[in-house]
């Protein structure tokens, strides 16, 4: 785990030794103001949490030998229930759903809620939020005849039901994400292919491909969506083995990206945090943190003793504007070394 330091860099603060190969991770199962860390491994799901200043193992599922859980997400399946862990098993060709059971903290555990078999080996999973009043969809990509298929599931009082699906995709799925990328209500699904293209898919009565990108490289190995600093809408991010990071600002309606940067290393994974920073993991084992500033914007590195009000006065703006542009929910919580986006003055 890395924490921001006063010089604007990130410092290694803690190492978690899970004792096994970690295939995927997610954060969630939030209590108070703290998320838990969820790992998927070859045969189980493990949850870690911070306790008395230390990162400790909290729960783990019963072993499922030979499952190979290649992806994991955390989803709220309906309005009444809590968050559910969804783990995608490659070799068992199934999705495993786990919930936290029990009352007292010491007596709580992960309990298997359901198993849904897929038509082929699981590859990637994502959560699709829909318009108000509709339960979300769980999207799963699975291998089929050297390529991939997509199916969706939603939770009902009687269990899981199948939503729209696509049986034969034009390329194998290498990455999967969702976000509010188009004017239509709800989220859109986006998948990155082994042919170097990404597709945006709307999920209504069916799964409809509404955009195919130009060729971005040999493969799209990582996708993520989120609102970057200074942006009013979400951005779809795509990473490639050639080390390029591409950005498509919503509404995503053209095949060419809005911007591209060379990270210098093959991109394996991507995420956007609540402050609008981009984190990427690379094939050489490094972690990079990026800030993409809109054209014409300025960057300010926070110094000791500064606050949003004093910084705003330098640039003839307000603390409220800086908080909004930089996705800062608590204006009192800024730190030396933090980089703030200063919007262009009109």
Q: For residue 314, give the 3-state DSSP assignment.
A: helix
pLDDT at 345: 59
Are 326 and 260 found together in one domain?
no
Are 187 and 267 found together in one domain?
yes
pLDDT tier at 28, thresholds 50, 70, 90:
very high
CATH at residue 333: 3.10.350.10
Residue 277 token pair:
């920073």
User: How is the beta sheet containing 34-40 ordered, strand by strand?
Assistant: 24-31, 34-40, 45-51, 54-60
Least trusted range by pLDDT, from 29-33, 89-93, 194-198, 318-322: 29-33
Share above pLDDT 90 across residues of the chain, in percent, rounded to a whole number: 63
Are 282 and 314 found together in one domain?
no
Domain total for the chain?
A: 2
Are 40 and 108 found together in one domain?
yes
> Which one has a higher pLDDT value, 210 or 295?
210
Alpha-carbon span 8 to 338, nearest angstrom:
6
* Residue after which a domain boundary falls, among 271, 290, 309: 290
CATH at residue 203: 2.130.10.10
Contact 246, 278 (CB under 8 A): no
Give the β-pairing of 235-239 and 222-226: antiparallel
Q: How many CB atoms are closer than 10 A to CB 247?
A: 17
Are 263 and 330 found together in one domain?
no
Are 314 and 191 found together in one domain?
no
What is the per-residue burial (b if ≥16 Cβ within 10 Å, else e) of 36-61?
A: bbbbbbbbbbbbbbeeeeeeeebbbb
330 closest CA partner among 278, 274, 290, 279? 274
Are 276 and 337 found together in one domain?
no
Alpha-carbon span 248 to 233, nearest angstrom:
11
Share above pLDDT 70 across residues of the chain, in percent, rounded to a whole number: 97
Alpha-carbon span 99 to 137, nearest angstrom:
17
pLDDT at 105: 58
Q: Which domain holds residue 110?
A: 2-290
Are 88 and 115 found together in one domain?
yes
């Amino acid at each position: 785990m890395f924490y921001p330091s006063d010089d604007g860099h990130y410092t290694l603060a803690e190492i978690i030794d899970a004792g096994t190969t970690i295939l995927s991770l997610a954060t969630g199962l939030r209590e108070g103001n703290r998320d838990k860390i969820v790992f998927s491994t070859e045969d189980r799901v493990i949850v870690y949490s911070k306790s008395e200043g230390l990162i400790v193992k909290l729960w783990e599922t019963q072993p499922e030998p030979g499952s190979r859980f290649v992806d994991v997400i955390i989803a709220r399946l309906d309005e009444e229930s809590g968050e559910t862990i969804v783990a995608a098993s490659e070799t068992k060709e199934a999705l495993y759903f786990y919930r936290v059971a029990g009352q007292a903290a010491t007596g709580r555990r992960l309990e298997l809620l359901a198993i849904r078999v897929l038509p082929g080996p699981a590859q990637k999973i994502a959560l699709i939020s829909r318009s108000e009043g509709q339960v979300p969809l769980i999207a799963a990509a699975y291998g089929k005849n050297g390529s991939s298929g997509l199916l969706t599931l939603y939770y009902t009082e009687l269990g899981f039901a199948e939503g729209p699906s696509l049986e034969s995709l034009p390329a194998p799925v290498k990455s999967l994400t969702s976000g509010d990328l188009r004017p239509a209500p709800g989220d859109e699904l986006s998948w990155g292919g082994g042919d170097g293209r990404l597709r945006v898919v709307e999920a209504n009565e069916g799964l409809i491909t509404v955009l195919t990108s130009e060729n971005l490289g040999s493969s799209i190995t990582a996708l993520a969506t989120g609102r970057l600093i200074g942006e009013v809408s979400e951005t779809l991010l795509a990473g490639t083995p050639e080390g390029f990071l591409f950005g498509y600002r919503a509404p995503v309606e053209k095949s060419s990206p809005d911007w591209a940067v060379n990270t210098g290393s093959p991109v394996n994974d991507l995420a956007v945090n609540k402050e609008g920073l981009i984190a990427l993991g690379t094939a050489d084992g490094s972690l990079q943190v990026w800030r993409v500033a809109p054209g014409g914007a300025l960057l300010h590195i926070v110094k000791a003793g500064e606050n949003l009000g004093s910084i705003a006065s330098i640039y003839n703006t307000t603390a409220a504007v800086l908080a909004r542009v930089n996705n800062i929910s608590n204006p009192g919580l800024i730190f030396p070394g933090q980089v703030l986006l200063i919007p262009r003055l009109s």
